[in-house]
Homo-oligomer: A and B are copies of this chain.
Amino acid sequence: MSGTPMAFSDRASHRAWLAAQSALPAGFRVGVACFDFTPAEAPKPARMTLTLIALDKPSPDFAAVFTRNAFPGAPVTVGRARLGEPGLAAIIINNKISNVCAPGGVGAAERICTETARLLGCRRTDVLPSSTGVIGWGLPVEAMIASLPAAVGALAAGSVMPAAEGIVTTDLYPKVRRAAVGAGSIVGIAKGAGMIEPNMATMLVYLLTDVAVPKADLQEMLSGAVEPTFNSISVDSDTSTSDTVVLVSSGKVPCGDPEAFRAALLKVCGELAEDVVRNGEGVRHVIRVSVSHAADFASARALGKAVVNAPLFKCAVAGNDPNVGRLVQAIGKHAGSLPSPADLSGLRIRMGGVEIFAAGAFRLDPSKESALVAHLKAAELYASAPAKDGVFSAPVDFPAHGRCVEIEIDLGREGGASAVVFGADLTHEYVSENADYRS
């Protein structure tokens, strides 16, 4: 993962940069529509956005990966079945309600697909549904169907931005990344923010390309690309029931170099994955953990995840407190829970480039403490400012910089494998977001 480091001084400059990334590949259109409704389970007015991504004609070349949560949403169940269909013509996405374990959820998703297909003139099975939002509630199907013509009417080529903005929920800003491949391109959009420790994909990611790559190759390349990217991030260690990454090609541009396509796909996935963390719920510090000289990629990544998922260490980072004891606690908890004991005798740890642990003991002194505090402060995205009512919220809706809290864990094994994991701190802003989010 190597997200392009970026710094923006204000919302306008960030949005301008996003707009410059947003040119739709040939063969795609997007359209969005909003409506108000009242959920049946907890009556209180809400607003839903429908986002429609349509191809000019059904494409045989598409791929997807989905959550490994044992209670996948109905759209995931339907989406898995769609992988066996001969073509994909459209993706219909809603926010507010995720359609997970709601009675009749699959039927509701298929009705939305049927109506979408009728309006677009394609088959129901050419339409892939996606939903994100509250788990357990049922979709307002009739209200969605009533709003579908507006989404179809809004379909336009040119920019993916309406879709990037339409799919968000608690995200502070839309996420768009692109890469050129010969005469074509890949453009990706993501919705993230919370319940983010993907175990197959992140919440909702749509990767659109005009480069012609056969279906089997798309699936193989996508599955390979998600492992070091979306499957290597964690905002809060929760794994959504809706995680979905879809890659679809309109086939308009011949693919001269499959390896260039693979590299471009990996780049877009890596950048979007880091974007999802940097815009995670309540995130004030992005933490990058590089694990090296490990037995294999999987164990290196698992150790990195253990660090970014340790609540006390996450709190220390939030407070710009270099409490590196909590970092070693997290490594030790993980190593101590493995079936066979790990050899940690060669462990070396650096934070912000400063060696803090070697040869079985900490290497600390007051000057290192000062350097670590400075490193943490430099990586802070914004300072926490309490509101009078005790509800904390982010004062900025753009990424102020691309810096991370840098942690290097060298396991000292000769040769060996490495992994990079992105995570985040645990903040008042996260608690405020999630103790009151649904109410």
Question: A interface vs B, CB < 8 Å?
Answer: 40-43, 67-72, 98, 100-103, 105, 134-137, 194-195, 197, 199, 236-241, 309-312, 315-316, 318-319, 321, 323-326, 328-337, 341-342, 344, 357, 360-362, 364-366, 369, 384-386, 388-390, 392, 426-428, 430-439
Q: Which residues of B contact A365 (CB under 8 A)?
A: 40-41
Cα separation A312 to B384 with both chains bound (whole Å): 20
Q: Which of B135, B329, B439 contacts A69 (CB 8 A)?
A: B329
CB-based contact A136/B241 at 8 Å: no
Query: How far does the Cβ of A17 sit from chain B's closest Cβ, in whole Å?
Result: 31
Q: How far is the CB of A294 from chain B (nearest CB, A)?
A: 15
Instruction: List the B side residues contacting A335 at CB < 8 Å.
Output: 70-71
Q: Separation in Å of the A83 CB from the closest CB of chain B? A: 18
Partner of A435, one of B135, B318, B435: B318
| CB-defined contacts of A431 to chain B, threshold 8 Å | 315, 318, 426-428, 430-431
Q: How far apart are A390's CB and chain B's nearest CB, in angstroms?
A: 3
Chain B contacts of A369 at CB under 8 A? 41-42
Determine if A329 and B439 form an interchain contact, defined as CB atoms under 8 angstroms apart.
no
CB distance B332 to A137 under 8 Å?
Answer: no
A364 nearest in chain B by CB position: B41
| Dominant SS among interface residues on chain A | loop
A388: which B residues are within 8 A, CB to CB? 386, 388
Q: A312-B434, A434-B315 are in contact. Are A136 and B238 (CB under 8 A)?
A: no
Task: Flag if A330 contacts B137 (CB, 8 Å).
Answer: no
Contact check, A239 vs B333: say whether CB atoms are below 8 A apart.
Answer: yes
Chain B residues contacting A435 (CB-CB under 8 Å) are 315-316, 318-319, 321, 427-428
Given A333-B69, A333-B239, A365-B41, is A135 in contact with B439 using a C-beta cutoff of 8 Å? no
B366:A42 contact, CB within 8 angstroms: yes
A330 to B239, CA, bound (A): 8
Nearest Cβ on chain B to A69's Cβ, whole angstroms: 4
Question: Which of A42, A323, A435: most chain B Cβ within 10 A?
Answer: A435
Q: Are A361 and B428 in contact (CB under 8 A)?
A: no
B332 and A241 within 8 A (CB): yes
Apart from A101-B361, A103-B362, 5 more pairs, CB < 8 Å: A69-B332, A71-B329, A100-B328, A136-B328, A319-B436
B241 touches A329 (CB 8 A): yes
Q: Is there an interface contact between A70 and B318, defined as CB atoms closer than 8 Å?
A: no
Cross-chain pairs A/B with CB under 8 angstroms, 6 sampled: A70-B342, A135-B326, A241-B332, A311-B430, A386-B386, A386-B388
Q: Is the beta-carbon distance between B438 and A323 smaller than 8 angstroms?
A: yes
With beta carbons under 8 angstroms apart, the residue of B316, B336, B342, B389 that contacts A199 is: B336
Residues on B with C-beta less than 8 A from A69 are 329, 332-333, 336
Residues of B within 8 A of A41 (CB): 364-366, 369
Instruction: Output the least CB separation between A105 and chain B (Å).
Output: 8
Whether B199 and A357, one on each chain, are in contact in the complex, defined by CB atoms closer than 8 angstroms, is no
